[in-house]
Each structure stands twice: as C-alpha cells, then as structure tokens.
C-alpha cells in the first residue's frame, strides 16, 4: 500500500469518527417567546455585523494584512448576540477565549477599533498590541480574549468574586469552548464559584470541534451537567436559535441575580469556517458544513421577521447596506491607521504605583 493511499485512508477514518447527524432546519413554531419587530431587527443587524466583519477579516488575512492567528466566529453569531441582549450594560462583565471578534462588537466596541486591532495598528482598541486574540475594553466590561486554552475561566471567576465583594448586582459571563471545558482549572472554578455562591454564568460555546477533534472523541458525558457534583444548575441550549439562547440566558441571569450562585449553559452551535484561518478542515465533510447552514441563525431571524411581521428582503436592504458601509469603513480605517510607535513597547507593562 502506498504512503498516499495510507494517508487517504486515515483521513476517511478521521471523518467517520467525527461523523454526526446534521439537525433539521429550525422549526419556527418551536421558537421561544417572540420579541418585537424592532428587537428582531436589532438581532438581525448585530449578527449580520459579526458575519460581514468576519468575512472581511478573512479577506484581509488572506492579503497578509492580519498576522498571527485569526479565529472567525461565522456561524456562531446567535450565541454572543443572545447573551448580550440580556446583560446589563455598565454592570455585567464578560471574558472569553481567542475567538473574540464578535464578542467585542456586540459589547459596544466600534468596528473600526476592532479591525485596526486585528491588523496591529495604533488605532486598535488595544493600540495594536493585542491583535486578534488579545483584545480588551474595561470601559465596555470586556476583560479580554485570551490565547491560552481555558485561562479566561479562572479570570472570569475573579470577576464574579469582584461583583460579590462589591455587592453591585453584576454577573460575570465566562465564555469557553468545548475544548477548554476539559481543562482542570474549569473544574476548580466550578468548585470555588459554588462554594462561595459567586455570580458567574459559565457559557460553553460547543461548536462541536476542539480544533479538529469532535466532541464525542474528546469529552465524556454532557458539558451542562459537569457542575452537578458541585450543585450547579445547567442547561443545554440550541445555539443556532437566538431566541432560545436569549430565553435560557435570561432565566439563568435571573437565577444568579437572586443569589443562587453560578449557572452553566452549554450552547450547541457550529462554526462554518476552520478552527483558524490556517485550518484545512480535513476532519469533516463539506456535506456536514452545508447541512448546518440550513440552520443558519441569521436566516432564522429573517424568516421570523417575514412570518410574524411581514418584513421582506427589500425591507432589510437598508440594514444590509449600513453593515456593508460599516465594514468597509473599518477595513479602510485599519489600513490607514499607523503602526504603533516603538515607545509603546514600554507601556502597559507595569501598573504605576502612586506614592
């Protein structure tokens, strides 16, 4: 047997091991409580901004204007948009991993600043020093994307402790991927959060692949039940339906704010692109990816708008144009923004101490 055929056989075995049933398109009649037309349009706009922004980021990466790693959020937009819709701005905090562009955008950070950060420019939200994986905005309650798998979970635990210590009524929303959910510090964080009844909402963004390894091949049991031994409530949520995400998030937030301690939401979603821009995606089939696109979260909202409020494609064109213009401006701004000054190498290294 030739080396080439052996490699082909291994690829086939990998795909078979990863094989999963593709869910049917969303049934509109099963959606959670229907929002108003304006609320649905805002969801549509926010998710479309993430989608178009990420598509442009992919283009700039291909042109060599974005260096290092670049993890796109395409397909997962309903998760962070649904969560953000029930968070209290100026009070609640959020922290996540390296797939963080969408989280930044819905937190209120401008597209210009996010795109400039991706390209390592001085006009970026972290002045070009963080890049794709390490963005930060205390002003918007966003405590960073983090490149070390699972590292953000214990940071989110600290934010939850801060909320309780200050007694400010805030909740720390702690995002992690399905791969990070297996890290040891996650279990340690669950234990401490339960022990001290900290206001932490742990979100497992289960996009079904830890890099190229499917969940059945790397994780035993159900993620949302991982907190049961600590007395933490958990739910599994359809992450392709923003209304289901919003309803579950609202229920969890109310429970946490009532003083009942932490909560876990496993939100099952799907990324259409690779783990990062350098991922050849040989671990799954094109048919699987196309199958999940039939459950697209943005199309789901469009169908709801049409079915419930008679909103047509033509009616949505102004939003589409607005987003197109926003993303174009962001790309232009990023490319026109200067590189950081050499003196910035010495800033943000130490916290100044007042005498």
Q: Where are the domains of the chain?
A: 35-104+141-333
What tokens were used for 350? 């130490």
Residue 29: predicted pLDDT: 41
* 285-312 pLDDT tens trace: 999 999 999 999 999 999 999 999 999 9
For residues 193 and 205, the answer to whether their CB atoms sit within 8 Å is no
Residue 348: predicted pLDDT: 82
Neighbours of 313 (CB within 10 A): 10
- Select the CATH number that applies to the domain covering 35-104+141-333 from these four: 3.30.1700.10, 3.40.50.300, 3.40.190.10, 3.40.50.970: 3.40.50.970
Residue 310: predicted pLDDT: 97
Residue 56: predicted pLDDT: 97
| Residue 11 pLDDT greater than 90, yes or no | no
Average pLDDT on 67-93 reads: 95
What tokens were used for 237? 């949520």
| Residue 355 pLDDT greater than 90, yes or no | no
Out of 75-84, 183-192, 272-281, least confident range: 272-281
**Secondary structure (3-state) at 142:** strand
* CA 339/CA 320 separation, integer angstroms: 31
What tokens were used for 314? 């033509």
Sequence-separated (6 or more) residues with CB below 8 Å from residue 184: none
For residues 70 and 61, the answer to whether their CB atoms sit within 8 Å is yes
Residue 1: predicted pLDDT: 44
* 179-230 pLDDT tens trace: 999 999 999 999 999 999 999 999 999 999 999 999 999 999 999 999 999 9
pTM, to two decimals: 0.89
Average pLDDT on 116-129 reads: 92
């Amino acid at each position: 047997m030739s080396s080439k055929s052996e490699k082909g056989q291994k690829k086939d075995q990998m795909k078979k091991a990863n094989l999963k049933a593709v869910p049917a398109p969303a049934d509109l009649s099963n959606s959670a409580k229907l929002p108003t037309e304006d609320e649905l349009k805002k969801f549509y706009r926010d998710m479309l901004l993430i989608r178009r922004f990420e598509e442009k980021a992919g283009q700039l990466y291909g042109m060599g204007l974005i260096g290092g790693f670049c993890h796109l959020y395409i397909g997962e937009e309903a998760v962070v948009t649904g969560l953000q819709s029930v968070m209290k701005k100026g009070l609640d905090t959020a922290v996540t991993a390296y797939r963080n562009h969408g989280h930044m955008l819905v937190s209120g950070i401008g597209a210009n600043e996010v795109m400039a950060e991706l390209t390592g420019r001085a006009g970026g939200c972290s002045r070009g020093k963080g890049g794709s994986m390490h963005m930060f905005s205390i002003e918007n309650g966003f405590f960073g994307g983090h490149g070390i798998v699972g590292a953000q979970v214990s940071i989110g635990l600290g934010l939850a402790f801060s909320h309780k210590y200050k007694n400010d009524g805030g909740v720390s929303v702690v995002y992690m991927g399905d791969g990070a959910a297996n890290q040891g510090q996650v279990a340690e964080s669950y234990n401490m959060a339960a022990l001290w009844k900290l206001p932490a909402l742990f979100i497992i963004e289960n996009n079904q692949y830890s890099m190229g390894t499917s969940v059945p091949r790397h994780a035993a049991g159900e993620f949302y039940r991982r907190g049961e031994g600590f007395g933490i409530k958990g739910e599994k949520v359809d992450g392709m339906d923003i209304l289901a995400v919003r309803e579950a998030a609202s229920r969890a937030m109310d429970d946490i704010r009532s003083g009942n301690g932490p909560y876990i939401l496993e939100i099952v979603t799907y990324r259409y692109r690779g783990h990062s821009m350098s991922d050849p995606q040989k671990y799954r089939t094109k048919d699987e990816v196309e199958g999940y696109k039939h459950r697209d979260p943005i199309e789901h909202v469009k169908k709801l708008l049409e079915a419930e409020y008679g909103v047509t494609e033509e009616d949505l064109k102004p939003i589409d144009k607005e987003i197109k213009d926003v993303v174009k401006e962001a790309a232009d701004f990023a490319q026109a923004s200067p590189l950081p000054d050499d003196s910035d190498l010495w800033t943000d290294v130490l916290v100044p101490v007042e005498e």
